[in-house]
């Protein structure tokens, strides 16, 4: 991977992280402002369900941020874009679609097949 490609993916990852952080701040603000006590039990239950779903989504995004940070570190140490399993380059098309990818398509498919076999047993 050349310097221009690394710079491109660094910018892409940083923009993605910034967007997630901005959305998280908006969610926190909305949750704080919505702290309304609903007199109707159905409304209260619906509100609590919405809140739980939103918090689960934010937790997934928190985990995604750690993967983005790990990808940024790999860019800095020049291991970004290489499969952790085989050491072969990950295709640019795959990195464009999933910039945090750590496995090539082939290695990911093998990993998922092994997962499926163990899960089915």
Could you read off the pLDDT of 75-94 as tens digits, one per residue?
999 999 999 999 999 999 99
Tell me how far CA of residue 81 lies from CA of 15, 22, 107, 110, in angstroms.
Answer: 18, 27, 13, 18
Element containing residue 113 per DSSP (H, E): helix 105-120
Q: What DSSP state is assigned to residue 121? A: -
User: CA angle, 69 as apex, 65 and 75 as ends, to 5°?
Assistant: 145
| Rounded distance between C-alpha atoms, residue 86 and residue 73, angstroms | 19
Confidence of residue 20 (pLDDT cuts 50, 70, 90): very high
Q: Which domains does the chain have, with CATH numbers?
A: 1-80 (1.20.120.910), 82-121 (no CATH)
Could you read off the pLDDT of 31-88 as tens digits, one per residue?
666 666 667 777 767 777 877 887 888 888 889 999 999 999 999 999 999 999 999 9
Residue with tokens 């901005």: 22
């Amino acid at each position: 991977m050349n310097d221009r490609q690394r710079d491109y993916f660094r910018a892409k990852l940083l923009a993605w992280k910034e967007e997630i952080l901005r959305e998280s701040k908006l969610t926190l603000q909305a949750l704080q402002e919505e702290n309304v006590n609903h007199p109707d039990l159905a409304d209260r239950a619906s509100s609590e369900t919405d809140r739980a779903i939103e918090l689960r989504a934010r937790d997934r995004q928190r985990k995604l941020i750690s993967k983005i940070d790990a990808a940024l570190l790999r860019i800095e140490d020049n291991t970004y874009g290489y499969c952790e399993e085989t050491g072969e380059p990950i295709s640019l098309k795959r990195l464009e679609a999933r910039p945090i990818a750590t496995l090539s398509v082939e290695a990911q498919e093998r990993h998922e097949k092994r997962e499926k076999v163990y899960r089915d047993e």
